[in-house]
Homo-oligomer: A and B are copies of this chain.
Amino acid sequence: MATESRTMHSPPHQHGHASTQASTQPAHSGPAHADHSVARHRAAVAELLTGLRSADRTETLPLHAVLGRGLAYDVSAPISLPPFANSQMDGFAVNSADIPDGGADLPVADPLPAGATPAALESGTAAPIMTGAMIPAGADAVVPVERAVPDRFPVPGAEATVWLPATAAGTFVRSVGSDVPAGELALAGGTFLGPAQLGLLAALGISEVRVHKPLTVLLVTTGDEVVEPGQPLPAAKIYDANGTLLESAMRQAGLNVLRTGISTDRPEELRALLHAHAPAVDLMVTTGGVSKGAYEVVRQAMDGQQAEFRHVAMQPGGPQGIGTFDAVPFLGFPGNPVSCLVSFEMFLRPVLAELFGSPAPRTPLRARLAHGLTSPGHKHQVRRGSLQADGTVRLEGGESSHLMHALAGSNALVHVPEGVSALAEGDEVEVWML
């Protein structure tokens, strides 16, 4: 835990009544109360999870099984790429010294297909060479077939000559190691393995690699007001969006997700559930019950554990729980769906990318606002938006954290940093594509 940790001891829960907790906690949480910055809380999450990055949590798997994983070690190139000098074009392999400035007619030698080891080029001849074929000894350049006269390959076996223009040594030759030389770093440990990275490993002849094992996370949504989708909806209740939203985001990020169903607002029920699953998981994430209301089940269930509940200077997603439960890392996200996703994107996802190389990190982009906005100046505001083809970003929905439909119509998070209280149309903002 971070040094700023302060264990939260909540009073016993009184079911059906507001607990006394609210009256013993400061209800106001403005900047005067030393909110944690986004960066400080993210660093605390990284510190919490760093112990999960260890050698015994890696495994060696074939390439087809590691798509979306993070590489666990630096991979050096075992061979050069290309492995040998080869032709970049369908054309004629020549010795550049054989063709004077005005061009020359040269007898055509046997063709050189890709994959065959060629005989040395006889001095003063031109050999038809296919893209990717090895440059023969004695040749140092390739003239593309469309620059030859005639601009096609002669029928093999028939005697022929071809006129070729002068060409500089090295032209259309892919030299050995010009992509990556043997022995050099090909991919650094912590690299996300997407199609291009796996393609590079295959090109190097590597058929299996050591990667980080995926973490298993216990995901528990809480709240007496929450009902499973597909069930009837009683008055004053809402369907659980958080479970599906976060499970999907976590799976997309490469985590194994263990769902427990919805926990009620009884802390002893939640506590029993966490005790039961703790031995089998690497991380616990709860939603709801971390705020300053009168019924905060997660705060209450964490009584006696090493956890604290803080306010991060972020909107939405300010109230955050962090610590351990039975020594298992624990994060308590707030209860609104948009707050949940923003918490995941701002804290857990970037830390996973940094520590385990998976998921791929979000690339910070720059875009101009399609319209102005306001923001609480003392908080980092995260808005939802749609990036338009003209490079502007349109905000979807307002600041409010319950707008799932607006979130589902967005493709980006829009960042308004702490210290900024208003932005105008056309102002540039940082944007993360979802």
* A residues whose Cβ falls under 8 Å from a Cβ of B: 17-18, 20, 22-23, 27-30, 63-64, 67-68, 77, 79, 81-84, 88, 90, 111, 113-118, 128, 130-134, 145-146, 151-157, 174, 179-180, 186-187, 194-208, 223-231, 233, 235-249, 251-252, 265, 291-295, 335-337, 341, 363-367, 387, 389-391, 397, 400, 402-408, 410-411, 428, 433-434
Contact = CB atoms under 8 A, between A and B. Distances in A.
Q: Main secondary structure on chain A at its contact with chain B?
A: loop
Nearest to A64: B247
Contacts of A229: 63, 201-207
A362 to B, nearest CB: 10
B224 A113 contact: yes
A152 B230 contact: no
Contact of A241 (B18, B154, B203): B203
Contact of A187 (B18, B84, B335, B408): B408
A187 B226 CA distance: 23
Contacts of A403: 179
Contacts of A207: 228-230
A217 to B, nearest CB: 14
A96 to B, nearest CB: 20
Contacts of A117: 235-236
Given A115-B225, A224-B113, A229-B202, A341 B196 contact: yes
A411 B428 CA distance: 22
Contact of A236 (B84, B145, B205): B84
